[in-house]
A and B are shown apart, each in its own frame.
Chain A
Amino acid sequence: MSSEAQGSEVAGWRAWLLSSSPASRSQARLGRAYIGWLSFRANHLAMLGLGIVLLLVLVAIFAPWIAPYDPNAQILADRLQFFSSQYWLGTDELGRDIFSRIVHGARLTLYIVILVAIIAAPIGLAVGTTAGYLGGWTDTVLMRITDIFLAFPKLVLALALVSALGPGIENAIIAIAVTSWPPYARIARAETLTIRNSDFISAVRLQGAGRMRIIWSHIVPLCTSSLVVRVTLDMAGIILIAAGLGFLGLGAQPPLPEWGAMISSGRKVLLDQWWVATVPGIAIFVVSLGFNLLGDGLRDVLDPKTGGQG
């Protein structure tokens, strides 16, 4: 969203950005982004999503200043307290302040989501574009591998990997990334297939560009926008899988305030001290919803040709 800064009231900028005859490549690119931003801004739900995600980022950055307590400080005498002016969102089964844990948990959530996206998307992109462009045996082998990973239940595969790699947030991230790339590979392949035989790729090929160069410089950039949309939409899924791992007791190590693990430890007292599991449940829900709304909005802007396909 580099255009955000330019979206001020200065009319000159607007005119420059919206110019129908851009003088330079970067002007055209910025102009396109600005138009996208305008249509994105008109989408209230998407803006809400963006707001939630920005809030998550801010909370994560400023967690130590926002949280009133150390997220791991136990006061056994004050366990399972309801909302109060002292403990805004109550305390958990070890007498830790839930609000502080939620705030610090935002860091973990963001960390997981970003790292998974950074690992999984490029893998999917590389596999998908290579398979799609090269075709033949490469395609067969790569897509068979993709199918194998797709045919696995995601959570079970992640579970197996986590227990193989050992617990810890980094390993959970790797496990989730390994289960997340196949759909990206499929998208990238499908996109590549539609581009592969287009005139401009043929032109590049005639100029003598190598295969890897074509894939890397011409096909990958074209697949990126739909992939960004897909990844944003998947972020909610990543959060939910991480929470599922936490719920099953694998994933983050105690006493890390991972939201799924917080639900897991609070679920025993759900009937009587409902807030212990519900507050992190709501946190997961709000953030997932934020990413979903954002992704939905981005898709309308960036990827109009799929017309809203998931």
Chain B
Amino acid sequence: MRKLFACVVAAVMAVTATPTLAETPRDTLVIAFQIDDIITLDPAEIFEFSGAEFAGNTYDRLIGYNHEDVSEIFGVAAESWTISDDGKTYTFKMRQGVTFPSGNPMTAEDAAFSLQRAIILDKTPAFILTQFGFTADNVADKIRATDDMTLVIETDRAYAPTFVLYCLTATISSIVDKKTVMEHEVDGDLGHKWLRTNYAGVGPFKLRQWKPNESLTLDRNDDYWGGAPAMKRVITRHIVEPATQQLLLEKGDIDIARNLGPDQLESVRSNPDLAVQDGVKGAVYYLGLSQKNEALANPKVRQALKYLVDYKGMEGTVVRDLMRVHQAFLPRGFLGALEETPYTLDVSKAKQLLADAGYPDGFKITMDTRNTSPILEMAQSIQATFGQAGVDLEIIPGDGKQTLTKYRARNHDIYIGRWGPDYQDPHTNADTFARNPDNSDDAKSKPLAWRNAWDIPQMTKMSDAAILERDPAKRAALYLEIQKAHQVTSPFVIMFQQTEVAATRADTKGFIIGPAFDDNRYHEVTKN
């Protein structure tokens, strides 16, 4: 008994005596972020936000773009490139003297292998590359290293050059160390099983450790060809609760908090030790109105609902800092993005439209909603404004995967969702919002237009034409035309474009929040 007591006293003393570290070491960056979406570290498979961020900081691709102006494309692992006159052959000259952390020199063969591997493995993001006519059978011919430093890529048609180039900046185009990866090959899996939890690339950082649902630790690549970053180590901790993230930040136990809400950011701003940083993201928030629902299939009803969202009210409150009003499917910053926002909350107009459509007293409808903030708050605001015109909206909350399962099976009435582009070319969103080649239940491709059962043969043709237009100005005009029609007729109530916000310690500078999720970079971060 006495021993036990002594133990308790010792424990209590230890607790009260342990000095809690007031700040993180100067050469270590600590980030609090919800990273439970990471399910793989293989760039041929990564398609999640946090996974993409990992790959962005650890894997170089052939080319990259300026995160402030995506039209400026430059070489990364490739030093330069040329495009043949017929527009089908791309030739890349590799950068000299780049070595992988394993010591292997990086050659055109590594680049060719990486792209071939992604196509042969055929994981989810493979479509980004296969849309240029590559298949597991022909890829060895179409993508090849002609010598140590030269890579040749042949597409099946003459696409808009930026379309091809932007796809080569995507996560799936990351360059892996062929030798290291193939050393871990099992049963012809091209090292996939191994690379899912390991690392073989070159970039400003390299993987130290990934503990699922716990933390992801990166170490600096001291030999990086572009210069070693200032931070020796970057630790991303999985902290679910935004309130906990805020506490940690205020106490100085972390440098960056990534999942704070608008009201928390307000309090961060008023704290002189902290700062708020933001960057415009490509993701848009929208309501998908299923055309299988009789009421929603009525064009006047679709119009009416577009007038029943309090865009401005939400922008100033529940999604303040996190989103800006945007009403076209191409996000600002993209070629040909339509920036007009014709819709505002206009209950009387909506009532009129509903009456014209034959629903003077409104109707009952359900909306599948992710049970996360700020989606849930948005849904409740929409519920209230819909109600003003007699549209009785029932919110069906569920976990992300649950609502998604329902949405993908076309079992929803309304789905409130978010869509982020897969690469920086306008086709990425046109492909899903404005293309639906086959509206039957067992269609091969199931874009968002399909999920909402919106049959649009004409618009599909226009979208298909736009990827073959090689003149940027003409191409932009094509997309503007599609978006204008889309804005009026589509069953998508596009509401906002995302702004990604990070709260940082005031002394932490240089964190880059780029337009895509693999553009969030740590290599310029300094702490003074």
The reply to whether A and B meet directly (CB within 8 Å) is yes
Is B445 in the interface zone, CB < 8 Å from A?
no
Is A64 in the interface zone, CB < 8 Å from B?
no
Is A32 in the interface zone, CB < 8 Å from B?
no
B317 near A163 with CB under 8 A, answer: no
Q: How far is the CB of A131 from chain B (nearest CB, A)?
A: 36
Number of A-B contacts (CB under 8 A): 83
Within 8 A of A (CB), among B260-312: 260-261, 263-264, 266-267, 310
Q: How far is the CB of A122 from chain B (nearest CB, A)?
A: 30
Is A3 in the interface zone, CB < 8 Å from B?
no
B394 near A255 with CB under 8 A, answer: no
B396 near A167 with CB under 8 A, answer: yes
B397 near A253 with CB under 8 A, answer: yes
Interface residues on B, range: 35 or more
Is B313 in the interface zone, CB < 8 Å from A?
yes
Is A237 in the interface zone, CB < 8 Å from B?
no
Q: Which residues of chain A come closer than 8 Å to B376, judged between CB atoms? A: 249, 254, 265
Q: Which residues of chain A come closer than 8 Å to B247, judged between CB atoms? A: 271
Binds A, one of B48-56, B212-220, B380-388, B484-492: B380-388
Q: In the assembly, what is the distance between CA of A166 and CA of B402, in Å?
A: 10
Q: Are A249 and B372 CB-contacts (below 8 A) given A74-B381, A167-B398, A255-B383?
A: yes
B263 near A93 with CB under 8 A, answer: yes
A167 near B264 with CB under 8 A, answer: no
Q: Are A267 and B381 CB-contacts (below 8 A) given A79-B317, A163-B399, A249-B372?
A: no
A76 near B317 with CB under 8 A, answer: yes
Is A204 in the interface zone, CB < 8 Å from B?
no
Is B241 in the interface zone, CB < 8 Å from A?
yes
B241 near A93 with CB under 8 A, answer: no
Within 8 A of B (CB), among A55-95: 72, 74, 76, 79-80, 93-94
Is A116 in the interface zone, CB < 8 Å from B?
no
| Pick from A80, A163, A254: contact of B383, CB under 8 Å | A254
Q: Which residues of chain A come closer than 8 Å to B314, judged between CB atoms? A: 76
Q: Which residues of chain B come closer than 8 Å to A270, judged between CB atoms? A: 243
Interface size on A, residues (CB 8 A): 24
Is B151 in the interface zone, CB < 8 Å from A?
no
Q: In the assembly, what is the distance between CA of A154 and CA of B155, in Å?
A: 56
Q: Which residues of chain B come closer than 8 Å to A268, judged between CB atoms? A: 242-243, 260-261, 263-264, 373
Is B140 in the interface zone, CB < 8 Å from A?
no
**Helix, strand, loop or mixed for chain B's interface?**
helix
Q: Which residues of chain A come closer than 8 Å to B379, judged between CB atoms? A: 254
Most B CB within 10 A of own CB, among A74, A248, A270: A74
Is B395 in the interface zone, CB < 8 Å from A?
yes
Q: How far is the CB of A276 from chain B (nearest CB, A)?
A: 9
A94 near B263 with CB under 8 A, answer: no
Most B CB within 10 A of own CB, among A79, A248, A250, A269: A269
B317 near A250 with CB under 8 A, answer: no
Is B371 in the interface zone, CB < 8 Å from A?
yes
Q: In the assembly, what is the distance between CA of A151 and CA of B367, in Å?
A: 36
Q: Are A250 and B263 CB-contacts (below 8 A) given A74-B380, A94-B318?
A: no
Q: In the assembly, what is the distance between CA of A254 and CA of B264, in Å?
A: 22
Q: Which residues of chain A come closer than 8 Å to B402, judged between CB atoms? A: 163
Q: How far is the CB of A270 from chain B (nearest CB, A)?
A: 5
Q: How far is the CB of A265 from chain B (nearest CB, A)?
A: 7
Is A43 in the interface zone, CB < 8 Å from B?
no
Q: Are A163 and B377 CB-contacts (below 8 A) given A250-B371, A268-B263?
A: no
| Pick from A80, A250, A255, A267: contact of B380, CB under 8 Å | A255
A93 near B381 with CB under 8 A, answer: no
Is A225 in the interface zone, CB < 8 Å from B?
no
Is B424 in the interface zone, CB < 8 Å from A?
no
Which residue from chain A places its CB closest to the CB of B397 in the assembled complex? A167
B371 near A249 with CB under 8 A, answer: yes
Which residue from chain B places its CB closest to the CB of A251 in the assembled complex? B397
18 A-B residue pairings within 8 Å (CB atoms): A72-B384, A93-B318, A93-B377, A163-B398, A248-B371, A249-B397, A250-B397, A254-B376, A254-B379, A254-B380, A255-B380, A265-B373, A267-B243, A268-B261, A269-B263, A270-B243, A271-B247, A272-B263
Interface residues of B (CB under 8 A from A): 241-243, 246-247, 250, 260-261, 263-264, 266-267, 310, 313-314, 316-318, 369, 371-373, 376-377, 379-381, 383-384, 394-399, 402
Since A250-B371, A254-B379, A267-B241 are in contact, a sample of 14 more A-B pairs with Cβ atoms closer than 8 Å, ordered by chain A residue number, is A74-B380, A74-B384, A76-B313, A76-B316, A80-B263, A94-B384, A163-B399, A250-B399, A254-B369, A267-B243, A269-B261, A270-B243, A271-B247, A272-B263
